[in-house]
Amino acid sequence: MQDGGLLVHLVTALVAALIGAAVALRLGQPLILGYVLAGVAIGPFTPGIIGQTEAIAELAELGIIFLMFVIGAQLSMRALVRAGRVAILGALLQVAVMIGLGYLVGRALGWGPLESYAFGAVISNSSSTVLGKVLSDRGELDSRHAQLGIAWSSVQDISTVALVAVLAFLSPSSTAVGPLLGKAALFFFVVVPLSFWVVPWGLRRASALHNREFFALAVVTLALAMAGGASLLGVSLALGAFLTGVVVGESDLAHRILGDAIPMRDIFSGIFFVSIGMLLDPAFVLDAWALVLVTVALIVLAKGAVTTVLARWLGCSTRLSVLIGAALAQSAEFSFLLARIGLEQGALSRPIFNLLLSATVVTILLSPLVNGLAPALLRRVQARRVGAARDADAARPSAIEDHAIVCGYGRVGSIVCALLEQHRKPFVVIEEDLRVVESLRARGVSALFGDAGLPDVLDRASLRTAHLLILCIPERMAARRALEHAREVSRAATVLARTHSYEDRAFLHARGADEAVVGEMELALELGRRALQRFGVEPDVIERSLATARRAHA
C-alpha cells in the first residue's frame, strides 16, 4: 500500500482510526490513545499493513487546521476572566517553569539549546481532552477543580500558539530573519485586523442565503484559506487557524460555525493522531526506557507538583490545588502538535521526538490512576493533620442539633443554603475552599473548613445530632464516604445527595441514602413540566405525570 492515490491513503488512515477508536472505547480509554496506537500499527516500524507516512501526514494537516480553528472559536474570553488569576496567571507561570525545567534537563543530557527548549515546550502542555474524559468518568466534571483545570488547560492551549511561533522562528529551516519578520508583520498587523471586519461580514452574507450546505462550505473554505494564507506569509498553519477561530468565535454566528466545523475536526484530528502514531518507533521505547521514565516523571510528577504549588500560592485550598495538579499531570493533543511541528521545523531530532511521543502516550494511560490516587493521598495527609484542621475551624458550631449539614457550597449547595436561610432553618456548611468559608463566617453563617468525606470533619459539624445531611459535593467518592460514615453514627439523620448517573443513585440508595437526585433527570422533568404548562395541562395532572416518570426511572 506504499503506492496509491489520495483516496487509498485517506481510507487507510480512517480505517486505522476507526479500529483504534473502537478498541479504546471498548477498554474505556481516551480515543486519542486508540488513534495513536492505530498509527503505530500501520507505521513503518511495525509489520503488517503499512500506510504511506508522507501522504497521511499531508492529510493530517487538515486535522491541525480544524483542531486549532475550533479551539479558537470555542475560546471564551469571558470564561477565562471569570476563572481569574488562578487559571490565567497560574497556567502561564506553569508553562514558563516547565519550559525552564525541560531546558535544564535537556542541556544536562547534552542536547542543543533549541532541542532543549522544544523539549520543555512539549512537556509544559496538558490535555483538556484527557482531563475532561477522566473527570467525566469519575463524575467530577462539575467540580471546582475540573472547572479550574479546564480553564487552566485553555490558557495552555493559547500559549501553545506562541510556542509554535517561537519554534518556527528559531528553527534551522527558517530563512533570513528580515523577510520572515516582514511577512509575519503583514499577517499580524494587516490580515488579522482586516479579518475582524471582513470575515464576520462574509459569514453574515453566507448565512443570509439560508442554505446550510452553502454556509458549511463557506466555513470550511474560510478556515483552510486563512490557514493557507498564514503559511504563505511564514506563519504556521496552526497559528493561522487558531486566530481565524478567535475571529469567528466573536461573531453572533459562532454556534452555527462550530456546528459545521466540529464534525470536520473530529474526523481529521483522528487522522492527525494516526499520523503521529506512525512516527513512533516501538523499538526505541524499549531501547530508551530510562529516558522515557524520566520524561514521564517530568510530565506527571514535576508538572503536577509545579501546578499544585502555583495553585496553592494563588489562593486555592490544599485539597483543590492537589486535585488541579493531578488533573493536569498529563499531556496529549497539543503536545503531539508541538512535537510534530518541532520535528518538521528541525527543532527536534527523531530520537527526541520518539522520546516525547512515547512519554506522552504513557501519561495518557496513567492519568486515571493519578486522579484516583490524589484524593486518597489527601485523605491520609488530612487525617494526620486533624489538630491543625481543628485550629483552622475555630468557628465550630456549639450545642447545635436538629440542623442540616450542607456539604459543598458550589452552585448547588449555595442555592440549598439560600432556601434554608430564607425559611430560618439551622444549617452548617462544610466547604474545602477556605476563602468561601471565611466569607460565609463573615456573614454569620456556620461554616467548617475541610473535606466532607472525612469522618472527623463530619463529626465536628455535629453529625450525631443533625436532622439532615445534604451532599452537594460533585466528587462521587467523597459523597460515598460521607454517606457511609453518616450511617455508622446516625441512623436517624436523613441523607439527601446529588449524583450524575442512575448507577450512582442506585449505589447511594443501597448504602442508605434517603434521596439521591440525578441532575439530568430533574432538569428533564422541569423542562417537561414547563412544556406541559404551556399546553395548558392542569397542575395536578402534571404532578402525577412527573411522579410516574420518577418511578419509571427509579
Domain CATH number, residue 110? 1.20.1530.20
Nearest-angstrom CA–CA distance, 115 and 103: 8
Q: What is the pLDDT of residue 335?
A: 82
pTM: 0.68
Q: Which residues of the chain have pLDDT under 50?
A: 1-2, 176-177, 386, 388-389, 391-395
Query: What are the phi and psi torsion angles at 536 (to 5°)?
Result: 80, 20
**HSE of 226, CA atoms in CB hemisphere, 13 A:** 30
> Does the residue 4 lie in any domain?
no
Whether 230 and 87 map to the same domain: the answer is yes
Residue 464 per-residue DSSP state? G
pLDDT digits (tens, 9 = 90+) for 76-88: 656 556 666 788 8
519: CB partners within 8 A, 6+ apart: 498, 499, 500
> Does the residue 205 lie in any domain?
yes
Secondary structure percentages of the chain, helix, strand, coil, to 5? 75, 5, 20
Q: Are the C-beta atoms of residues 494 and 425 closer than 8 Å to each other?
A: no
Q: What is the pLDDT of residue 70?
A: 80
> Does the residue 544 lie in any domain?
no
Whether 332 and 462 map to the same domain: the answer is no
Residue 300 per-residue DSSP state? I
> Does the residue 191 lie in any domain?
yes
Picking from 331, 348, 378, the residue at the C-terminal end of a domain is 378
Q: What is the pLDDT of residue 471?
A: 94
Nearest-angstrom CA–CA distance, 110 and 91: 28
Whether 416 and 396 map to the same domain: the answer is yes
What is the three-class DSSP state of 543? helix
Q: Read off the C-alpha cell for 525.
A: 422533568
Whether 209 and 295 map to the same domain: the answer is yes
Whether 116 and 248 map to the same domain: the answer is yes
Q: What is the pLDDT of residue 117?
A: 92
Whether 240 and 316 map to the same domain: the answer is yes
Q: What is the pLDDT of residue 383?
A: 60
The widest CA-to-CA distance across the chain, in whole angstroms, is 82
Nearest-angstrom CA–CA distance, 152 and 256: 26
Structural domain containing residue 493: 389-513
* DSSP one-letter string for 178-191: HHHHHHHHHIIIII
Whether 448 and 472 map to the same domain: the answer is yes
Query: What are the phi and psi torsion angles at 111 (to 5°)?
Result: -80, 160
Whether 335 and 308 map to the same domain: the answer is yes
Whether 223 and 371 map to the same domain: the answer is yes
Nearest-angstrom CA–CA distance, 68 and 475: 31
> Does the residue 349 lie in any domain?
yes
> Does the residue 208 lie in any domain?
yes
Nearest-angstrom CA–CA distance, 362 and 332: 10
Query: What are the phi and psi torsion angles at 429 (to 5°)?
Result: -100, 135
Picking from 322, 352, 378, the residue at the C-terminal end of a domain is 378
Nearest-angstrom CA–CA distance, 475 and 496: 15
Whether 299 and 355 map to the same domain: the answer is yes
CATH code for position 459: 3.40.50.720
Picking from 378, 410, 441, the residue at the C-terminal end of a domain is 378
> Does the residue 311 lie in any domain?
yes
Q: Are the C-beta atoms of residues 454 and 383 closer than 8 Å to each other?
A: yes
Q: What is the pLDDT of residue 415?
A: 92
Whether 245 and 346 map to the same domain: the answer is yes
Whether 352 and 396 map to the same domain: the answer is no
> Does the residue 452 lie in any domain?
yes
* DSSP one-letter string for 66-108: HHHHHHHHH--HHHHHHHHHHHHHHHHHHHHHHHHHHHHHHHH
Q: What is the pLDDT of residue 386?
A: 47
pLDDT digits (tens, 9 = 90+) for 408-457: 998 889 999 999 999 999 999 998 777 788 899 999 899 998 888 888 88
Q: Read off the C-alpha cell for 33.
A: 490513545
Query: What are the phi and psi torsion angles at 508 (to 5°)?
Result: -65, -40
Nearest-angstrom CA–CA distance, 235 and 150: 27
Q: Are the C-beta atoms of residues 45 and 283 closer than 8 Å to each other?
A: yes
Q: Read off the C-alpha cell for 249.
A: 468565535
Query: Grid coordinates 502561564 are at which residue?
Result: 92
Provide the domain count of the chain.
Answer: 2
Nearest-angstrom CA–CA distance, 18 and 314: 43
429: CB partners within 8 A, 6+ apart: 406, 409, 413, 417, 437, 440, 445, 446, 447, 448
